[in-house]
Amino acid sequence: MAYRSDDYILLTTYYELLFTIEESLKYLDEIEKDFAKTEGDRIFNDLIHAFFHLETTHPLLLSIIENEHFAKTIRSFDQIFLSFDILAFYTFPSIHFQSFLKAYFIPEYRKWMDEIHACMRPYVIH
pTM of the complete model beyond 0.75? yes
- Give Cα 62 distance to the centre of its chain: 17
Residues 24-70 have pLDDT tens digits of: 999 999 887 765 667 888 899 999 999 999 999 999 999 999 999 99
Task: Please give the Cα distance from 126 to 109 (Å, whole number).
Answer: 25
Closest of 49, 25, 50, 22 to residue 37, by C-alpha: 25
The CATH code of domain 5-124 reads 1.20.120
Specify whether the CB–CB gap between 64 and 10 falls below 8 A.
Answer: yes
**Amino acid in position 92:** F
Residue 126 has pLDDT above 80, yes or no: no
E strands within 21-118? Answer: none
